[in-house]
Chains A and B, each alone.
Chain A
Amino acid sequence: MHIELKAPLSEKELMKLKVGDKVFIRGKILVARDLAHQKMVKKAPVDLNGSIIYYASPTPRPPHHIIGSIGPTTATRMDAFTPALIKKGVKVTIGKGKRSPAVVAGSVYLVVPGGVAALLSKSIIATRVLAYPELGSEALQEIEVVDFPAIVGIDMKGRSIFK
């Protein structure tokens, strides 16, 4: 079953997602990784309510492209910051690799294949830096996506795709 997700998300929509579901995301999602997380937990520079965070940092944008290649980075490195951001309203995190249901309790973790970054860049139609421009490729960005493919790795009931 293919489900379409559109941010900002409500809890009711998230409850419908089951581990292993294939989803397509449409709308605006935030892009942040290690250093931006470290800053965001202290003071969120934007409203995180209902937001989706994609753990990534793209390659530089070549001419005639909307964005460079942009695949997911390893989610477990963000574990220390995730519960605090869920409290601030984050509803979905997107990354690659294993993580524990306890870390993402109250949210949904979506998995995207790593290393298919050129392919994923084709689902992005707009991009802008929201905060921390000094971090370069690690800045907090907002991207607008159409049919961005992902798989439910951990659902709201804490069921995990990882054995």
Chain B
Amino acid sequence: MKNIPAKKITDTIKTLCIQANTELTSDVENALEQALRQETSKTGQEILQQILQNAKIAKREKLPLCQDCGLAFIFLEIGQEVKIIGGSLQKAINDGVKQGYKEGYLRKSTTADPLTRENPGTNLPAMIHTEIVPGNKLKITVMTKGGGAENCSTIKMFKPTSTQKEIDNFIVETIKNNGANACPPIIVGVGIGGSFDQAPLLAKKSLLRKVGSQSKWEKELLAKINKLKIGPMGLGGNTTALAVHIKQGPCHISSLPVAVNIECHAHRVKSATI
């Protein structure tokens, strides 16, 4: 067994929350630079330049990339030979998020109650997803995700006999209807399979993959989405999405759930392994 002190988890998550919010991931920065070279709309080019300039200012001054510092999603891959000592894992995670959002001057956007809208100002609770894996390491991934793009996300329960074309149309329609409000250029996360609850999680997990390599199907979908000409911030242009990521999972013989989780260009994901 490998002992990992709870405090180490707290400290790591605190640091990752601040880094994620102030440092644009290099894969997305590269994709934006490539998009700038290919964008034909003048306004689109200007917006892409502003996005890249914003990333430089945010990193230099440790300012959040976006005022919406999001819900804090914490993905843990816990090695089965790991033992957490010195406190509860859940508390260690929440303490890390609370400290990171306070010390990083990050906006707290998590309400305690969906209807009264009370905001305790801690950005708690963290949205925690755990997985037990072989080994003696703990991999922590922090993803902070804003509400605007999340609101544009959707799910549809297809029939088992539905065709790939129907699925493609649903994905492209979702972007056509909602893409302009999701801060394009976006990353399109697609979850196919699982159950009603799992498909959106597959879609969200697909967003953790680095932007850069895509399957043939993903490339085809990306081309269709960029043909919509929604463009940067919905003002027209050929850069609507930077990537399409599909993650599949087993499902029931009666079901074929498809979820689309849209990520804005301010993609904030950082990982560490203890």
Contact = CB atoms under 8 A, between A and B. Distances in A.
Interface residues of B, number: 39
Interface in B133-164: 146, 148, 151
A116 B67 contact: no
Given A60-B105, A117-B54, A117-B63, 5 more contacts: A59-B105, A62-B62, A97-B234, A116-B51, A121-B63
A58 B151 contact: no
Given A114-B183, A117-B54, A162-B180, A70 B105 contact: no
A83 interface: no
A60 B102 CA distance: 9
Q: Quick one: which of A20, A60, A68, A69 has the most chain B CB within 10 A?
A: A69
Interface of B: 43, 47, 50-51, 53-54, 57-58, 61-69, 105-108, 117, 119, 121, 146, 148, 151, 180-181, 183, 229, 232-236, 264-266
Main SS class of interface, A = loop
Nearest to B43: A151
Contact of B151 (A71, A74, A138): A74
Interface residues of A, number: 38
Contacts, number: 119
A100 interface: no
Contacts of A151: 43, 235
A48 B54 CA distance: 31
Contacts of A20: 43
